[in-house]
Structure 1
Amino acid sequence: MITTSTRALRPAALLTFAAALLSTAGPVWAQVQPPSNTRPMAVPIAQTIPDAEDKPYPGTIQLMIDASDTTTGAYRVTETIPVPAGQSKLTLLYPKWLPGNHGPKGTIAELVDVRFYAGGRLLSWTRDPVDVFAFHVDVPAGAGEVTAKFIHTSPLRESEGRVTMTREMLNLQWEKMSLYPAGYYVRQIKVQPTVTFPAGWQVFTALDGKTASNNVVTWSVTDYETLVDSPIFAGLYAARHDLGQGVWFDLVADKPELLKIAPENLQVFRNMVDEAMLAFGAKHFDHYDFLLAMTDRMGGIGLEHHRSSENQYEPRTLVDWAAGDWDRNVIPHEFSHSWDGKYRRPAKLWTPDYRAPMQDNLLWVYEGQTQFWGLVLAARSGVQSKDQVLGQLANYAGSFTQYPGREWRSVEDTTHDPIMASRKPKPFSSLARNEEYYTEGALVWLEAEAILREGTAGKKGMDDFARAFFGMKDGDWGVLTYELEDVVKTLNGLYPYDWAGFFKTRIQTPGQPAPLGGIERGGYKLAWKEEPNPFDKARMASAKFISLNHSIGLAIDNDGRITGSRWDSAAFKAGLVTGMQILSVNGKTYDQDTIKAAITAAKGTSAPIELIVKRDDVVRTVQVQYHEGLRWPWLERAAPGTMPTGLDKLLAPRALAAKPAAKKPAAK
């Protein structure tokens, strides 16, 4: 250690001192270094949870849920699990990787007051320190079963998560309020479910063998995979409609008047069922239930299952039919999933239990083609008008013309977003990208339709692919997995083409031109107008915001708060970002009309748009240099005329034309 003070030394002495330091053995820093720091070694992670095996679990689990407490929204669970003979420890899993969620979305934090019993005795247990979704329960000698008691605390407000119970309805999802034994394929675990509901409520699910005693309902023994795939909607105000071909329309609503649907509007859902059966060519369910909530109190949802789907509409969507046109696509989308996603599923997206991670690479088929079919079936059936569907396609296409994230990130890479980002909002989504395997995926499949149609002189299209790929075995409601090679092989069987190269370019390679090929080859073009298309207009009115994404580059709510800022847009360059509030526009108080008028007035001039904005406690003036006017995307026919284009033909009804004409009565 050096203790001499250099402050007391004169320059000559400093040189002598420095020379003495340099003459010492070894570098100076080595002499002042402390001893070597202590460095730990990693503790090996022990595998304490067995991998799933395809073998039957002994016995049947009894699952009893009390879902009658609409005040707290708490689901109280008693689950009795048989214990294999001689087993001293039982490992129980809470579902983590949830089908249809495409990521680890299990709500383990909502599982509380967990206790285990055997023969009335409270048992000790530990949570696995590596996989916190696993419970290791000590089983006393001779115990034939373990009873688990716990509570699933459903969120009461959106900030806590999705609300699943209100005073008028509930959405019971079995995976959120049950445990299952580790080491087994979930299809090999037998369960008998029983639920207690509020008095007077109607109950809808795809489960079989329903028996009821007052407000307690039991279903036949089923396997855990089918149970998780068969959620419940129940409600005080409810109605059920037969859509034909074994398909049912099960409605719950906040108020009884919201259940009313005109006969001609109910008919379009029957048309949709017919159109889907014709498109896919086979039925992969024995019966099917659309579970639909007309509500703004219970959380929104659109989730696929093999024999049912969970859906939510805004409360008046069925009553105010024209105004709700934009909001109805979830029903045909989720119905298409019975074929695409449930029966046919990417091989790495199918897992033997809810602990094995999913690999999402082929979601552009699973979700992208379902997005395509949701739009096609909506237009063919009348669930949505053709103008609304064209507006949605324009919305997709327009967004990708000004989307910097496409320069660095491929469509396929966005399939990992449910795992990476957990569907949370992003500061600059236009640069980060979101789950565009849905929307850009749909546009890629629209181009595939055009290629098939052109290459076969109109004899083949995506309907033929649907029948060949998804309609493979009528009546089979198992799971048939596939890889990309299977998709390419089926397409080549319809029309030989470089389909592998097509998908490599469109799906797997970033930096591609905007995906307009299907629109343009379908006889339409992307156009820009100063008024929003029907879809954009309706969704902005419903959500109470204005999207100026294609002009200055902002989304703004009705109070002037910026909810989105497009990367590298005029507004972005002026320093306008999410979270700011626009107080005034060119000296006038902010509202939608004022900012639209300012954008219009600046068109073709050099005058900036002057905004006063607030961020936290700072108020300042910002000048936006933008002079191209208001812009919203539309689809227009590329050439004048009335003959139907390829896109027109794709969206035209098929089922009515396919039905044989009624025979005229024989003359007497």
Structure 2
Amino acid sequence: MSTALATVSLTGLSPRARAADSQPQPLALPDSIPAPRDVPFGGTIRLSVDATDLARHIMTVHETVPVPAALAATGGDLPLFYPMWLPGDHSPTGSLDQFGGLVVKAGGATIDWVRDSVTVSAFHMHVPKGVHALDVSFQLLSPVSPEEGRVVMTPGIVNVQWNQVALYPAGYFTRQIPVEASLRLPRGWQYGTALRAQSAAGDVVTFKPVPFNTLVDSPLFAGRYFRRIDLAPGAAVPVTLNLVADKPGELEATEAQIGVHRALVTQANLLYGSHHYDHYDFLLALTEELGRIGLEHHQSSENSGPRGYFTDWDKTFAARDLLAHEYTHSWNGKYRRPADLWAPNFNTPQRGSGLWVYEGQTQYWGYVLAARSGLMTVPQVTEALAEVAAMYDTRRGRTWRPLLDTTNDPVIARRAPLSWRSWQRSEDYYSEGQLVWLDADTLIRQLSGGRHSLDDVARHFFGTNDGSFVTSTYEFDDVVKALNDIQPYDWATFLHQRLDRTSEHAPLDGLTRGGYRLVYTEKPNEYVTSVASMRHVTDFSFSLGIMLGKGGTLANVEWGSPAWQAGMTRDAKLVAVNGEAYDPDVLRDAVVEAKDAHAAPIALLLQEGDRYVTVSVPYHGGLRYPHLERIEGKPDMLADILAARH
């Protein structure tokens, strides 16, 4: 169309059409934060944290941040980040909502700052010309109760996660930013961390300078009641168990209990044939007050266990695969890491497509190493595997959502409570991933006539570069190649079938090939009983399809279960069973009595807010708990998988 014709056409438009041409258009987003570069920052940040305000749960922070020479010569903008994308969380879970009181000074004079309008975790500092360092102060206003988030300060324990108490300059890989951190603790407290002290004065410890990414990867547990245990006596590479507890009696570990923790180190070294740390520190809090955690780091791990971890040893075994799981992450997750989960700083988005290896295979080795070390007995691990198999075999969400899609859940849900987890699926790459790797392990053993196993793959894939803790990234084809290097097979198809497709049932071929079948009986599953005791719940997941917390609150209702069919929903409160006030034994008796096919439905009185409703559950299946049963005539591969190595 010619310019003249275009002019005539536009002027001939109706007022309504001309108005449409003036509709709003998007405002361009500002590009005000420099991309990270792999160059030295040019100075060392001095970070000081005071963690003594236990009553108010406040940590006070002061940082001295050098100003790059070029910026000091001219003045201008220095953006500082608050870390958001945290390794191990696989999502932007930084505690920015707990950040407060930011004051920035240069040469004693307060200077202005402004939060970035797009990346709200970035703060722009207006640096005057000739200023060579900024003095930055703020507070971590940590949760006072679990309703506000994970509690990190209690009267007896402090968990310092450095990402919560530090800002760092944008524009650099974090490995290029040196930091010297110091920490003030309550008088007389002791601590454990992968950081190493360079000096101490009174209640203040100053740590040796490390790159910012190493600092964030080296959290600290400190406590009034503390114990340090050597798990590798005489070894050239030390491994330490650092214990804190609510009560001093919780630290009373027997020599036998210490022995199985030492065996974990031995069995992991036999499995991988390498180490990727120059020292390793387990941090374990035995507490009902500090928030629960299980988080991996390259040279340490943050873990919490129940009170009674040692003193009620026979009842708390379901918590003891945690240390094995997080320790395995030093090899799988920290050293070898999916390429899309590695980022140059803590504010670059990550993707979790490889979490079925990162977490799924780690979950597998966590159970295996727990058995091989004696942290859990072989029968206890077998019961745990039965519970996993039953849970994922009956999880209805698998009919619409493939396993691989659940690797997006850290970003989608960020571990918030879900109304219908069994339908939504959540982070199933952990334990269903575990079943996939059991499937692979038994298949390798079968195809190779017992000459090879997943142990060989683990040593081949995770055991390279002994002594190095420089991260080595990989992609899907690298995993396939590692499997084929040990046992040729169409592993790409094997994995795609289990990861990318929906299915009615869980991948249980590993159990069958390993010599077992999943069955249900009225005998309680010991692992389910241990978990229920520690979490203070009563579990009817495989019968009525419900789990109840204290006071009869429905903690979970399985999608498609008898309870679901009757219209029951989580968070309702079970008040009465067949006209009798609820307690767990009353409900168990009702389930048993209703086993007769001619019995009346179970009548449950529920309180839903201010309303009361009675539902009838026509369930006649009796109590059902999962177990693994030996298949006659099949080799017991599972026994060999779980047996200690020598």
Range of TM-score over shorter length: over 0.9
Letter matched to residue 189 of structure 1: I
* 2:53 alignment partner, SS class: coil
Among 266, 288, 293, the residue aligned to 2:258: 266
Q: Are positions 1:534 and 2:526 aligned together? A: yes
Among 624, 633, 636, the residue aligned to 2:629: 636
Q: Are positions 1:418 and 2:402 aligned together? A: no
Listed one character per residue, the Cα deviations across residues 130-174 of structure 1 (whole Å, up to 9, x for unaligned) are 000000000011000111000011111101111111111111010
**What is the alpha-carbon distance in structure 2 between the residues aligned to residue 481 and residue 639 of structure 1?**
43
Q: Which residue is 2:619 aligned to?
A: 626
Structure 1 contact 288–307 (Cα < 8 Å) conserved: yes
Q: Which residue is 2:597 aligned to?
A: 605
Return the TM-score normalized by structure 1: 0.91
Letter matched to residue 113 of structure 1: G
Listed one character per residue, the Cα deviations across residues 37-67 of structure 1 (whole Å, up to 9, x for unaligned) are 7621110002111110100001111011111
* 1:277 alignment partner, SS class: helix
Structure 1 contact 206–289 (Cα < 8 Å) conserved: yes
Letter matched to residue 201 of structure 1: W
Q: Which residue is 1:241 aligned to?
A: 229
Per-residue deviation, 1:85: 2.0
Among 39, 42, 45, the residue aligned to 2:23: 39
Structure 1 contact 574–624 (Cα < 8 Å) conserved: yes
Among 29, 32, 38, the residue aligned to 1:54: 38
**What is the alpha-carbon distance in structure 1 between the residues aligned to residue 14 and residue 349 of structure 2?**
52
Per-residue deviation, 1:562: 1.3
Q: Which residue is 1:646 aligned to?
A: 637
Letter matched to residue 114 of structure 2: T
Q: Which residue is 2:7 aligned to?
A: none
Q: Are positions 1:180 and 2:162 aligned together? A: no
* 2:29 alignment partner, SS class: coil
Listed one character per residue, the Cα deviations across residues 500-537 of structure 1 (whole Å, up to 9, x for unaligned) are 00110011211253211111111111010113211001
Q: Which residue is 2:116 aligned to?
A: 128
Letter matched to residue 44 of structure 1: A
Listed one character per residue, the Cα deviations across residues 449-469 of structure 1 (whole Å, up to 9, x for unaligned) are 001100111111111011100
Listed one character per residue, the Cα deviations across residues 371-422 of structure 1 (whole Å, up to 9, x for unaligned) are 0000000001111122221121111110122211001111111111010001
Structure 2 contact 546–558 (Cα < 8 Å) conserved: yes
Q: Is the radius of gyration larger for structure 1 or structure 2?
A: 1
Matches within 5 A, 1:495-514: 495-514=487-506
Letter matched to residue 488 of structure 1: V
**What is the alpha-carbon distance in structure 2 between the residues aligned to residue 403 and residue 604 of structure 1?**
27
Q: Which residue is 1:517 aligned to?
A: 509
**Larger CA deviation: 106-115 vs 564-573:** 564-573
Alpha carbon RMSD of aligned pairs, Å?
1.7
**Number of residue-to-residue matches in the alignment:** 624
Among 96, 104, 110, the residue aligned to 1:116: 104
Structure 2 portions without partners, runs of 5+: 1-12
Q: Which residue is 2:216 aligned to?
A: 228
Return the TM-score normalized by structure 2: 0.94
Q: Which residue is 1:662 aligned to?
A: none
Listed one character per residue, the Cα deviations across residues 597-651 of structure 1 (whole Å, up to 9, x for unaligned) are 212222241421112222122222211111211111111212279xx71000000
Letter matched to residue 615 of structure 1: E
Q: Which residue is 2:60 aligned to?
A: 76
Letter matched to residue 423 of structure 2: L
* 1:476 alignment partner, SS class: coil
Q: Which residue is 1:580 aligned to?
A: 572
**What is the alpha-carbon distance in structure 2 between the residues aligned to residue 557 and residue 134 of structure 1?**
41
**What is the alpha-carbon distance in structure 2 between the residues aligned to residue 532 and residue 255 of structure 1?**
32
Q: Which residue is 2:607 aligned to?
A: 614
**What is the alpha-carbon distance in structure 1 between the residues aligned to residue 554 and residue 54 of structure 2?**
36
* 1:264 alignment partner, SS class: helix
* 2:361 alignment partner, SS class: helix
Q: Are positions 1:196 and 2:184 aligned together? A: yes
Q: Which residue is 2:142 aligned to?
A: 154
**What is the alpha-carbon distance in structure 2 between the residues aligned to residue 285 and residue 512 of structure 1?**
42
Matches within 5 A, 1:454-469: 454-469=446-461
Q: Which residue is 1:280 aligned to?
A: 272
Letter matched to residue 227 of structure 1: L
Letter matched to residue 510 of structure 2: G
Among 377, 381, 387, the residue aligned to 2:373: 381
**What is the alpha-carbon distance in structure 2 between the residues aligned to residue 618 and residue 196 of structure 1?**
52
Listed one character per residue, the Cα deviations across residues 216-245 of structure 1 (whole Å, up to 9, x for unaligned) are 100111110111111111111111111114
Among 431, 446, 450, the residue aligned to 2:438: 446
Q: Which residue is 1:101 aligned to?
A: 89
**What is the alpha-carbon distance in structure 2 between the residues aligned to residue 621 and residue 258 of structure 1?**
44
* 1:283 alignment partner, SS class: coil
**What is the alpha-carbon distance in structure 1 between the residues aligned to residue 284 and residue 197 of structure 2?**
22
Q: Which residue is 1:390 aligned to?
A: 382
Letter matched to residue 585 of structure 1: V
Letter matched to residue 160 of structure 2: L
Q: Are positions 1:139 and 2:127 aligned together? A: yes
**Larger CA deviation: 459-468 vs 67-76:** 67-76
**What is the alpha-carbon distance in structure 2 between the residues aligned to residue 275 and residue 93 of structure 1?**
40
Structure 1 contact 191–224 (Cα < 8 Å) conserved: yes
Structure 1 portions without partners, runs of 5+: 1-29, 659-668
**What is the alpha-carbon distance in structure 2 between the residues aligned to residue 137 and residue 418 of structure 1?**
32
**What is the alpha-carbon distance in structure 2 between the residues aligned to residue 582 and residue 456 of structure 1?**
53
**What is the alpha-carbon distance in structure 2 between the residues aligned to residue 195 and residue 621 of structure 1?**
57
Structure 1 contact 86–141 (Cα < 8 Å) conserved: no
Q: Which residue is 2:485 aligned to?
A: 493
